[in-house]
Amino acid sequence: MKTIAIDIRLIGKGRTGDEMVFRSLTQEIVALDRENRYLLLTDETERGRLAALHHELNIVGKEHIEVVSLAGRNRFIWNLFSVPLFLLKRHVDVFHTQYILPIFIPSRTRVVVHIHDVSFCALPWFVDWRDRMFLHFFIPRSLKRSDTVIVPSQFTRDEILRYFDGVQSAKIAVIPNACSSEFMVEASQEEVLKIRAQYRLPERYLIVVGTLQPRKNLPFLIRAFAELRKHDADIKLVLVGNRSAHHFDQNIDHVIAELDLGQQVIFPGFVAQDDLPALIKGATGYVFPSLYEGFGIPLLEAMSQGVPVAASDIPCLREVAGDAAVYFHPGQVDICAKVLYTLTIHSDQRKQLIEAGKIRFEQFSWSKSAQLLADIYYA
């Protein structure tokens, strides 16, 4: 029996994609593997929240799983003291975390590091200089000390080899992402009507779901949307994301004001995870204009709900969506507007994309990814 420790402290912190990936992988791996012991490390100390974690991860009553609460007011204390002391006291065969390793890990412990993307290397001007310095200092150490580096796509694997010298390609393993459990069932028309009324949405809208960071390229999309409205004045744009987040792209509001689109671009505010499938299902189309991604889970979320997808023509998104999306150059407004117009009115294209999307969606699942992860843990 091996003892495997997984750093789950981001679960419950509202980190969108990163949090969902680790929650889903953790749920699947502990359900799949009943032969080994799992220690799930969190900085949560409040009893009610710890109980909620057990339910969220479906581990209530599972004797081979222990949630370990380690005090740590911030990530520095966590990595400098909390985790190193724990790994010294408890025998751990495998330690799995994201991006940044603790300052000390015993040599007896195999290290698995999850790197979701390296956008801080590819688009440094979109990252706060303090975060950039922190990552540039610690990521090379994580890559060097790790026994296995997990990435969600072949593109991200290639990017790590491109930006970091001396990394052995053999230690990088691709484990694709998938959709959260909420997207395993297509929302009904009744659910769509209910959500549309609840969030006061129009009958026809394009939708984007995710963080509102600069690399998401939303000011560009808004300009393309303004061009689209010259030919389709009834359609609106719904942007689902946290406008209060630290990295909110201020140019979003500037472009909306410049083009007088205050009534046409809709921010529904906080949307519960359970509501997202119906919110997406009700859309005329899903748009993913991002400049850089490590994977692109929203593409699969839209496909799961039978919604046609238009995406930036960047390698990562083509790797995920294949022929189940139409693509546009993420810097050419007029081309994007034409693609969106065709997507909204061309019934044959819409039908083709929806059918291709359903097939593509079936290629990704957390159960498949958990089996790949188990093979790494058992090595």
Q: Secondary structure of 207-273 in the HEC alphabet?
A: EEECCCCHHHCHHHHHHHHHHHCCCCCCCEEEEECCCCCCCCCCHHHHHHHHCCCCCCEECCCCCCH
Pair (19, 127) in one structural domain: yes
Average pLDDT estimate for 243-248: 81
Residues 44 and 141 in one domain: yes
CB-CB contact of 6 with 39 (8 Å):
yes
* Residue spans of alpha helices (H) in 288-332: 297-304, 315-321
Residues 289 and 275 in one domain: yes
Please indicate whether residue 166 or residue 246 has the higher confidence score (pLDDT).
166
Q: What is the mean pLDDT of residues 104-122?
A: 95
| Tens of pLDDT, residues 333-369 | 999 999 999 999 999 999 999 999 999 999 999 999 9
Q: How far apart are the C-alpha atoms of 123 and 326, rounded to whole Å?
A: 24
pLDDT surpassing 90 at residue 75: no
259, 240: one domain:
yes
Q: Which of 70-74, 182-186, 301-305 has the lowest mean pLDDT?
A: 70-74
Q: What is the pLDDT of residue 129?
A: 81
Measured in Å, how far apart are the chain's first and last C-alpha atoms? 13
Cβ of 27: how many Cβ atoms within 10 Å? 18
* Mean predicted lDDT score pLDDT of the chain: 94
pLDDT of 242 > 90? The answer is no
**pLDDT at residue 246 is higher than 80:** no
Q: Both 171 and 268 in a single domain? A: no
Strand pairing report for 65-69 and 37-42: parallel
14 vs 49, higher pLDDT: 49
pLDDT tens-digit series, residues 323-335: 999 999 999 999 9
Pairwise CA distance, residues 377 & 1, whole Å: 12
List, edge to edge, every strand of the sheet that includes 285-288. Answer: 265-266, 236-240, 205-209, 285-288, 309-312, 326-328
Long-range CB contacts (< 8 A, 24+ apart) of 67-73?
Answer: 67/40, 67/42, 68/5, 68/39, 68/40, 68/41, 68/42, 69/42, 69/43, 69/44, 69/45, 70/41, 70/42, 70/43, 71/43, 71/45, 72/9, 72/43
Spatial CB neighbours of 143, under 8 Å, sequence gap ≥ 6: 113, 115, 149, 160, 164, 167
Q: What is the mean pLDDT of residues 207-233?
A: 96
Is 281 within 8 Å of 191 (Cβ atoms)? yes
Q: pLDDT-derived band of residue 302, with 50, 70 and 90 as boundaries? A: very high
pLDDT of the residue at 286: 98
Residues 6+ apart with CB under 8 A from 118: 139, 156, 159, 160, 163, 294
- Based on the domain organization, do 14 and 88 belong to the same domain? yes
Q: Under DSSP, is residue 42 helix (H, G, I), strand (E, B) or coil?
A: strand
The pTM assigned to this predicted structure is 0.94
Q: What is the pLDDT of residue 282?
A: 97
Residues 138 and 223 grouped into a single domain: no
* Across 11-15, 116-120, 196-200, 228-232, least confident range: 11-15
The DSSP letter of residue 55 is H
Alpha-carbon span 364 to 179, nearest angstrom: 8
- Claim to verify: residue 225 and residue 136 sit in the same structural domain: no
Confidence of residue 255 (pLDDT cuts 50, 70, 90): very high
Count the domains in the chain: 2
| pLDDT computed for residue 15 by the predictor | 58
**Domain residues for 308?**
183-361
Among the residue ranges 9-18, 63-72, 103-112, the one predicted with the least confidence is 9-18
Residues 128 and 203 in one domain: no
Q: Is residue 218 located within the same domain as residue 134?
A: no
In this structure, are 203 and 257 located in the same domain? yes
35 and 107 within one domain = yes
CATH code assigned at 300: 3.40.50.2000
* pLDDT recorded at residue 14: 64
pLDDT confidence of 16, banded at 50, 70, 90?
A: low
Confidence of residue 253 (pLDDT cuts 50, 70, 90): very high
Kindly indicate the confidence band of residue 11, based on its pLDDT and cuts at 50, 70 and 90.
confident
